[in-house]
Structure 1
């Protein structure tokens, strides 16, 4: 059975369901609206939805079919008239959850909206996201990886087959808390003083990259104006739906890593001028500690530090001001809310699908993020954005001795300039002295010529006297 493309709209009294099914068998078409559930069947199409509010069929209002466009239109009556159904454009969240889970065959999933009152969804969000986990919170007999660390098993096989995209060598034998320290040690070995100083002393085109205007620069603080395109909506529909059983710690982990993914995407977008290239997949993969080290974060500051460190170690452009500009991009994207974030995630998903073998990262992370983000509350995204804005980092925090390198380079440059100036002054003095010598020599020559002329004139005079 095929899942057709559909749209959901609403009025005060109705939910309007439009289904595009050009190959449908009209005679066998049926639609059932039962409380929160809607069923549509028209071979070869099948659609099952769970709406955020109750609806029912109205016998006085039948469905319509446009043979030209192949679109069915059904008006479903709201049981609670005047109620507003949230997020009807995020159609993926209303699909009936699939029982097939990529890379996680044993995961049970639960929609956040169905959690009882008093669960972790009612916690103070800033405290919930920023708190440091207790040791017991992260302990596990077998360290996990993937979305919210819910995947276990096959770690060694992953490393052997996908070694070029995963830097963590012992996936299942490295406890989650130790991954950050191993990553930082590995990064110090990879950091190039020369490359960093070259970009620092001669930024060149980096200045243009910093000044580049991204879409979120134009729409910043215009959250309500961010809309998903028809292509993006279809993409979410094709990803399907799942339900997630995540405790408070797993949700916190997922949200913090989300900021890491967005930074990686924003960096590649800015440095490639908004165009996807053959290097886009590598850049996103490499800059994200989540994707390359399966790391979980303890705080928003940890996220920022990891992102900026890797942006100064791996890509072509390694400039602190450029990295901080991307931090600003990340904040703007988070502030614009779930739809802008979904746009970025969908683009990452497309890039990885065309970047062998990074499709694996879609299975482990990005697909789940696209689905889960449609379900979580706006409060949690807003809280993440506030914390991201409040946390300030400096060059000294990065741990790569950037200020010392810059100071040393500046001193060397100053000494070289002084040496050049001194040399130029010495050359100039020699030129002046040489010029004076030449003038004196010229003056002597002129005097000699004058004396010669006098003698000649006198001789000529004597000769004239003799003739007379």
Structure 2
């Protein structure tokens, strides 16, 4: 079955679903409404949407097909007129499977029995009730196998040297032949599939230390006229005050995303929000240095600045204590430091002031909510998807992240995170390369050169 392109809107009393289904027979359209679950089937198209509130298929509902445009328009009545339906523009969230609802089943207590035959009959009836209950639960869960989140604190069982990585450590095998590709950002070499999390972090830090160039940093610190122009530039996604609306291209990209539902613990979800900070940092650095006009180097730049890509080393907070999402100053600093280090080591422009400006961009994007964040991820994903090597990072991170942002992320948490990022203080001492000493040496050298020029002019 083909999932058609579609969009959703609402009126005071109805929800309208518009589907692009060219060359169909209108008489074959089948529509089923089960409270929040709506399915539309017409060969070869099938669409299943899970709304936030219940709908009705009554006399006011309708389905109209325009053969000239190939558009099927389905109008369904709201069970409670005037009720606002949230997130109708988050297509991946609408496509996500409906979660199983808690169900209370009546129980039967056997008080007494007359004989063994009756006991057998009661036992058979009990088994039959159990089977019916299991079938009912399976049907309620859309015939999906039940899943439970593993208990935290248990040591992982590993029967292979291969390690998992990517979004929620769900992926492996993408870097098995990395040495035979032109992957210039991979810092794990041929051991990418076997490195532990601790080894990934150690190799990343070692590589950053080896590649940091004092002279390059000093040159950009002293000759920063163009960097100041980059810092003064304003990102259009931050300055745009018009009502948000996804473009047709963005809607098409969202329809291509995988249909997945993620089961994450609270600590895993917390770490995903922190990883989002590093993704947006890489995105904002490239956007600012390219003036939001991607270059052939953009895929390399974003991949190289993202620790989760280049070393498979996303942030993992050691400070999370459970409960509501609270982001401490310490964990925000620990999340940002690798991004700062990489921005001062690998790209063309290496400026601490530029890194600070990118941090403020990240905070502003987070505060605008998940729709703006989703737009940034889609732009980042589009750049990587069209690269012949770095597309793998889109597969193991951005595909899943884009689905998760729509279906699971919350604007309230993103705002809290944005507030924490804008207040974060990343001291130069945390970077680890004596940046203050390097800058002081550069200024002193400039002063000596100025004094020498003045003495020469006086002697003349």
Judge same fold: TM > 0.5, yes or no.
yes
Cα distance, 1:157 vs. partner? 4.0
Larger Rg belongs to: 1
Instruction: Give how far 1:152 is off.
Output: 4.5
Give the equivalent residue in structure 1 for 2:393: 361
Corresponding residue for 2:131? Answer: none
Q: CA deviation at 1:284?
A: 0.4
Q: Tell me the residue number matched to 1:309.
A: 341
Q: Deviations over 1:20-44 (max 9, x none)?
A: 2122222322222222221112223
TM-score of the aligned structures, taking structure 2 as reference length = 0.79
Match of 2:268 in 1: 250
Q: Which residue of structure 1 aligns with residue 250 of structure 2?
A: 232
The Cα RMSD (Å) is: 2.5
Counterpart check, 1:374 vs 2:406 = yes
Q: Which residue pairs with 1:12 in the alignment?
A: 12
**CA offsets, 1:99-155, max 9 Å, x none?**
xxxxxxxxxxx96x9799xxxxxxxxxxxxxxxxxx958967464310022335665
CA contact (8 A) 1:216 1:332 kept: no
Higher fraction of helix: 1
- Alignment of 1:55 onto 2:45: no
Report the CA distance between 1:195 and its aligned residue.
0.8
Q: Give the Å deviation of 1:330.
A: 0.9
Contact 1:396 1:402 in 2 (8 A): yes
Residue pair 1:312, 1:320 contacting (<8 A) in 2 also? yes
Per mean C-alpha deviation after superposition, the further-off stretch among 58-67 and 266-275 is 58-67
CA distance in 1, matches of 2:258, 2:38: 16
Alignment of 1:49-448 (within 5 A): 49-97=49-97, 136=153, 141=158, 143-152=163-172, 156-158=176-178, 161=181, 163-169=183-189, 170-219=191-240, 225-297=243-315, 298=317, 299-376=331-408, 377-427=410-460
> Would the alpha carbon gap of residues 51 and 158 (structure 1) be closer, same or farther in structure 2, given more than 3 Å must change?
farther
Q: Is the 8 A contact 2:181 2:389 kept in 1?
A: no
Q: CA 1:153 to 1:279, structure 2 compared with 1: closer, same or farther past 3 Å?
A: closer
Q: Aligned residue for 1:131?
A: none
Contact 1:137 1:249 in 2 (8 A): no
TM-score by length of 1: 0.78
**Can you list the C-alpha shifts for 1:219-248, whole angstroms capped at 9, x where unaligned?**
3xx5x8333222212211121421001112
Q: 1:359 to 1:114 in 2, by over 3 A?
A: farther
Which blocks of at least 5 consecutive residues in structure 1 are unaligned? 98-109, 117-134, 428-468
Structure-2 change in CA distance of 1:137 and 1:290 (3 Å): farther
- Contact 2:96 2:407 (C-alpha < 8 Å) held by counterparts: no
| Matches of 1:95 and 1:178, distance apart in 2 | 38
Distance 2:102 2:369 in 1: 23
Q: For the Cα contact (< 8 Å) 2:22–2:71, is it kept in 1?
A: yes
Judged with a 3 Å threshold, the aligned counterparts in structure 2 of structure 1 residues 327 and 3 are, in CA distance, closer, same or farther, namely same
d(CA) in 2 for partners of 1:395, 1:290: 22
Aligned residues of 2:66 and 2:72 also touching (Cα < 8 A): yes
CA contact (8 A) 1:9 1:17 kept: yes
